[in-house]
Structures are given as structure tokens and as C-alpha cells.
């Protein structure tokens, strides 16, 4: 069973619909019990860093998530749900969860060519770089939808699962132990996204 954490942001229903079509058991989790009963967890997200942290704290679900991470359950953060896995962000002043060593930086516009604009918005190529099972059958030519102005800078390069080029390559997917994060929106990325969510379920 996959728990899709409902803490007031992100498209929980879009994940639930995809897993229903795939015939993979998944449910929207709004209680600590639902999170601890699941064997995998998705932490969705759309929005600003501090807003996400405030929502997560207010939901009362954070202790259960921390317990699930301690128990070694795979957790996948999406977009700002990935960014809050870091220790801090240029976007806000609140502390992140710190489950993956790294920080969230703003793209440096001063180094951009004229054609590169912020936010990074639209479909871009994702290149897996360490043979992670999360990208099974997505090794070449996969495109995902991005919508962000800040990116995850992992302290340990071994934590980078995939990179994307936006005026230079940055980490578009990260993993440290059982905690994973993707900057793009698999729930909004058609067949490629469905494959990634299927991979996470079988991971």
C-alpha cells in the first residue's frame, strides 16, 4: 500500500488516479496511522518552501513521517515535496526536514543566456546517472514537466539520481537511503510519469 500524504498542497488525487489505473493499491493519507500502515510514501507538493513546511507542521503528520523514514520505508518527495527534504532553502527561512544532506538554491539568473528564463517551466529531458530502479525503462528520451525557480544541491554527488540541463546541469532527482525526491511532476508527465510512479511502487 502506498500512502499519498495529504497535507494541504499538491495534487494527491492525480497520484491516486494513476495508481488506480495501474491497479496498484494506494490511498490518500490524512492521519498518522495511515502513514505508518503504508509500506511506501509519496510527499506531493506545489508551492513555496516555507508554506509547505508550515502546512506539513500544521497537519500533525510530521512525526509519523519521521517514524516511517526511521523504519526504512521508501519516501518520494515531489517538487517542493523534494525541496523540503533538504536542510534549508534560499526561498524561505524555515528549516527543512534535513533527510537528504543538501540545500535548495535559486538558479543564478546573472549567468543565464538570453533564452533561459525563470521559472524553469515546461517539459525537459531527464538523464538518469546511476542506474537507479526509479528510472527503469526511462533510461533514454524521458521528458518530465518542471515548474520551479529553485533547485536541490546535494552535498554528496552520490545522492544524485538524475540530472537536467537548464543553463547547466542540476540534480532533478536525488536519493539518500530510503528517501527519494524528484524536482519534476511525475503525476503530470503522461506515460513517462506513470512509468516512474510504477517504478517507485516496485522499488
Q: Which residues form the catalytic set?
A: 79, 185, 187
> Which residue lies nearer to another protein by CB, 69 or 171?
171
- Site for another protein contains 30 (CB under 8 A): no
- Site for another protein contains 168 (CB under 8 A): no
> Which residue lies nearer to another protein by CB, 67 or 191?
191
Instruction: Say if residues 68 and 108 touch (Cβ distance below 8 Å).
Output: no
Question: Near another protein by CB under 8 A, which window of 56-64, 131-139, 140-148, 174-182?
Answer: 140-148
Smallest gap from residue 173 Cβ to another protein (A): 17
State which of residues 118, 129, 153, 176 lies at the interface with another protein (CB under 8 A): 118
State which of residues 14, 36, 37, 127 lies at the interface with another protein (CB under 8 A): 14
- Site for another protein contains 165 (CB under 8 A): yes
Cell numbers standing for residue 94: 524555515
Smallest gap from residue 60 Cβ to another protein (A): 16
Q: How many CB atoms lie within 10 A of CB 96?
A: 20
Runs of H (alpha helix) within the chain: 12-21, 32-37, 49-59, 62-70, 80-83, 190-202
Q: Which long-range contacts (CB under 8 A, 24 or more apart) does 70-75 make?
A: 72/177, 72/178, 73/38, 73/39, 73/40, 73/41, 73/178, 74/39, 74/40, 74/41, 74/178, 74/179, 74/180, 74/200, 74/203, 75/40, 75/41, 75/42, 75/43, 75/99, 75/178, 75/179, 75/180
# residues contacting another protein (CB under 8 A): 40
CA dist., res. 112 & res. 14, Å (int): 33
- Site for another protein contains 13 (CB under 8 A): yes
> Which residue lies nearer to another protein by CB, 31 or 167?
167
Residues that bind another protein (CB under 8 A): 8-14, 17-18, 46-49, 51, 80, 91, 109, 115, 117-125, 143, 145, 147-149, 165-166, 185, 187-188, 190-191, 193
Amino acid at each position: 500500500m502506498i500512502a499519498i500524504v495529504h497535507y494541504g498542497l499538491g495534487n494527491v488525487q492525480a497520484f491516486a488516479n494513476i495508481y488506480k489505473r495501474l491497479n496498484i493499491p494506494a490511498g490518500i493519507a490524512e492521519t498518522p496511522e495511515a502513514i505508518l500502515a503504508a509500506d511506501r510514501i509519496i510527499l506531493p507538493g506545489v508551492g513555496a518552501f516555507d508554506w509547505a513546511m508550515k502546512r506539513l507542521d500544521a497537519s500533525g503528520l510530521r512525526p509519523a513521517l519521521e517514524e516511517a523514514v526511521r523504519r526504512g520505508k521508501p519516501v518520494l518527495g515531489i517538487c517542493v515535496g523534494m525541496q523540503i527534504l533538504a536542510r534549508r532553502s534560499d526561498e524561505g527561512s524555515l528549516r527543512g526536514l534535513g533527510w537528504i544532506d543538501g540545500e535548495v538554491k535559486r538558479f543564478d539568473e546573472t549567468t543565464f543566456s538570453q533564452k533561459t528564463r525563470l521559472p524553469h517551466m515546461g517539459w525537459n529531458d531527464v538523464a538518469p546517472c546511476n542506474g537507479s530502479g526509479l528510472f527503469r525503462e526511462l533510461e533514454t528520451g524521458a521528458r518530465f514537466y518542471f515548474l520551479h525557480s529553485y533547485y536541490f544541491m546535494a552535498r554528496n554527488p552520490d545522492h544524485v539520481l538524475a540530472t537536467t540541463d537548464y543553463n547547466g546541469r542540476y540534480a532533478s532527482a536525488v536519493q539518500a537511503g530510503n528517501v527519494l525526491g524528484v524536482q519534476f511532476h511525475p503525476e503530470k508527465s503522461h506515460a513517462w510519469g506513470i512509468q516512474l510512479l510504477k517504478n517507485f511502487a516496485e522499488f
